[in-house]
Structure 1
Amino acid sequence: MACAALHALLLARPRADVFVCDQVSACIPILRLAGGRRKVLFYCHFPDQLLTKRESFLKRLYRIPLDWLEEVTTGMADCILVNSNFTAGVFRETFKSLSHIKPEVLYPSLSTKSFETTVPADIAELVPKRKKFLFLSINRYERKKNLALALEALHELRGRLDSREWDEVHLVVAGGYDKKVLENVEHYEELRSVATKLNITDQVTFLRSFSDEQKMSLLSNALCVLYTPSNEHFGIVPLEAMYMRCPVIAVNSGGPLESILNNVTGYLCDPLPTQFSEAMEKFVRDPLLKDTMGAAGRDRVMEKFSSEAFTEQLYQCICRLTQ
């Protein structure tokens, strides 16, 4: 980032009016060397110091100067944007010396062009047998994503349905997976063990490192998406699902509180299997619910989270900086 900042400062042409920095604030002091009327806009997705574990004394010691540097350099920006009201609250709690700064919320946008140009894969290649009630979970194979909640909710749903309905239920757990990342490997096996323990293996497909074509197919065919992490900074998966007219059942904390309209584009629940399964049952009982909520979800994405909405708000921020 420091090298990129120096390049932008010294070599980039034409001369910039505003430098836009994303996530890493350490380069801001370099950009400030430009002086004059040139401004720096910083987009904070989440404080970096909260994204790393400090399990050893050496790691904690190592992070002290980095955490201090992040706070000081963040405060040097002329304008600070965050990706949600939730992140704005975390920003204030984390950067105590910046209490005088009130960051503006600029919601991430969804690149809808890729959805329109991608050809969906054949759903038969992803699910062994075509099911009437297909549920979908999309997230990385990480413990903090609480993917076991989706499995436990599926198990709870079994008790709410008769045998004929249950036979038509299937859950696809699709997630980012890297065999070089130990947690991905371990958690994948942990989730398979949970499915075996709950006796739902016939109703679950685990999909690792899926393609865009596969994701499109799953979102097109799913009854709804189960979004299980708590206190997610924002979360792009609910936007992708809603754009594809697929309702979302999510935990009632973090970013989903701002992206999902409860009882309109999906359901916001406590992170409990009973509440998730209750919401899942509603989609099984009402065949029109997906269409109604799906249409509302598409409208919401286009209104608040489209590239056009993002562009217009960012443009207004830059205009204010350059006045």
Structure 2
Amino acid sequence: MRVLVCHPEFWFGGAESVVFDAIQAFNGRNYSVYLVTGHCDSYWLDKLKNSVTEMLYGSVTMCGDWFHGMHFLAFRAWLKWGRIFDIVMLDGCPGAAPLLKLLFGKKIFYYCHFPYQLMLPNRRLIEKQLLDCFEKLVHNVNRCFPWISNRICSVHYPAIPIVTTQCSDAAKLEYCKTLPTNYFLSLNRYWPEKRVDIAIEAFMNAEGMLKKKISNDVWKSIYLIIAGSVEERIDASVNCRDELMKLTKLKNIEDKVIFLQNVSSEEKVQLLSRCTGVVYTPPMEHFGITPLEGTTGCGTNETVENGKTGILVDFGAENFSDAMAKIPCLDLKQF
């Protein structure tokens, strides 16, 4: 079985981890995996080269931005490899589906991670036509794209495999020394749509609530860690990080908020395993990887089970504050 994987850009993020895990799963079944991507960070380069049969990567700019770079990559893949593939896996760029279907003539497995469909409702007519090209869809697309509910499409949710959650004891001990005793964790890309500012606002608001329930010494031990990927070549990512840092200074809580950038998979595992709670703020995500990673320690949960593996609240800083104020009283029993 030959699989062509088409991913827009490989930099730090949940989507990249899921695609990499999918490639590893393909390898476990002895499939031949070919990869095309418009950008590949050094972090992923060696891992991918050791995991795929061949790959095409490089910066792609389309003049006027009328077409996604994946269109150019599709042509490159077709010219280099021809029609040798049994299936095509496409991630994050539905606009390339018709061209991939034309060039390779195979079924398309679409991984739908991004929330753009809900953010840009005016694109629904175009997306409706593009989604007709897919044979398999990954995500809760039945809710977001009801007009395809009469098609015979199966929906698959990504799992959290061993390759993502393993970490050596030596790495664990060393990294744990750098972490606070108690902390809330926000784990997202530094990107405006992730609304990490809500986590900062909520943490500040939670201070007053927590001080009524716990001692001042306990409050001093609680921090907010904001961990995520920053892509220096993308202004939106850099500006988001800078604005979040400015916000902590404006709210006078910069000594209680720790910013971490581009953490490794091993570091992410330790952050998740030791945190008091994960604060997940993206309001319009179709499906987030962070809740899966956060609940994997509680069992095989696809989503947060309210009151058992997490607390579900309506979007807003006050609601997050209320939830955050409940958790330490249950978790900080050593005090």
Whether 1:236 aligns to 2:289 is yes
Gaps of 5+ in 1: 33-38, 55-59, 247-255, 290-323
| Cα pair distance change 1:40/1:90, threshold 3 Å | same
Match of 1:89 among 143, 148, 153: 143
Match of 1:21 among 54, 65, 89: 89
Contact residue 28 and residue 73 of structure 1 kept, 8 A: no
| Cα pair distance change 1:53/1:73, threshold 3 Å | closer
Query: For the residues of structure 2 that align with 1:113 and 1:230, how far apart are their CA atoms?
Result: 28
Q: Secondary structure at the match of 1:22?
A: strand
| Cα pair distance change 1:259/1:227, threshold 3 Å | same
Query: For the residues of structure 1 that align with 2:144 and 2:149, how far apart are their CA atoms?
Result: 11
Contact residue 141 and residue 184 of structure 1 kept, 8 A: yes
Q: Secondary structure at the match of 1:277?
A: helix
Query: For the residues of structure 2 that align with 1:280 and 1:47, how far apart are their CA atoms?
Result: 27
TM-score (norm 1): 0.66
Q: Secondary structure at the match of 2:318?
A: helix
Query: For the residues of structure 1 that align with 2:313 and 2:189, how far apart are their CA atoms?
Result: 21
Q: Secondary structure at the match of 1:172?
A: strand
Contact residue 174 and residue 210 of structure 1 kept, 8 A: yes
Using the TM superposition, give the Cα deviation of residue 197 of structure 1 relative to its aligned residue in structure 2, in angstroms. 1.7
Using the TM superposition, give the Cα deviation of residue 11 of structure 1 relative to its aligned residue in structure 2, in angstroms. 3.9
Q: Secondary structure at the match of 2:308?
A: coil
Query: For the residues of structure 1 that align with 2:230 and 2:145, how far apart are their CA atoms?
Result: 30
Whether 1:202 aligns to 2:259 is no
Contact residue 147 and residue 229 of structure 1 kept, 8 A: yes
Contact residue 135 and residue 222 of structure 1 kept, 8 A: yes
Equivalent AA in structure 1 for residue 201 of structure 2? E
Using the TM superposition, give the Cα deviation of residue 112 of structure 1 relative to its aligned residue in structure 2, in angstroms. 2.2
Using the TM superposition, give the Cα deviation of residue 268 of structure 1 relative to its aligned residue in structure 2, in angstroms. 0.8
Match of 1:161 among 210, 214, 219: 210
Q: Give the paired residue count.
A: 247
Q: Secondary structure at the match of 2:331?
A: coil
Contact residue 141 and residue 187 of structure 1 kept, 8 A: yes
| Aligned equivalent of 1:265 | 309
Pairing of 1:151-190 with structure 2 (within 5 A): 151-162=200-211, 163-190=216-243
Query: For the residues of structure 1 that align with 2:291 and 2:313, how far apart are their CA atoms?
Result: 14
| Aligned equivalent of 2:49 | none
Using the TM superposition, give the Cα deviation of residue 3 of structure 1 relative to its aligned residue in structure 2, in angstroms. 4.7
| Aligned equivalent of 2:154 | 104
Equivalent AA in structure 1 for residue 136 of structure 2? I
Using the TM superposition, give the Cα deviation of residue 213 of structure 1 relative to its aligned residue in structure 2, in angstroms. 2.5
Query: For the residues of structure 2 that align with 1:102 and 1:47, how far apart are their CA atoms?
Result: 23
Contact residue 88 and residue 103 of structure 1 kept, 8 A: no
Gaps of 5+ in 2: 1-73
| Aligned equivalent of 2:165 | 115
Using the TM superposition, give the Cα deviation of residue 6 of structure 1 relative to its aligned residue in structure 2, in angstroms. 7.1
TM-score (norm 2): 0.63
Match of 2:109 among 38, 42, 45: 42
| Cα pair distance change 1:49/1:124, threshold 3 Å | closer
Whether 1:150 aligns to 2:199 is yes
CA RMSD of aligned residues (A): 3.3
**Identity over aligned pairs, percent:** 29
Larger Rg: 1
| Cα pair distance change 1:72/1:47, threshold 3 Å | farther
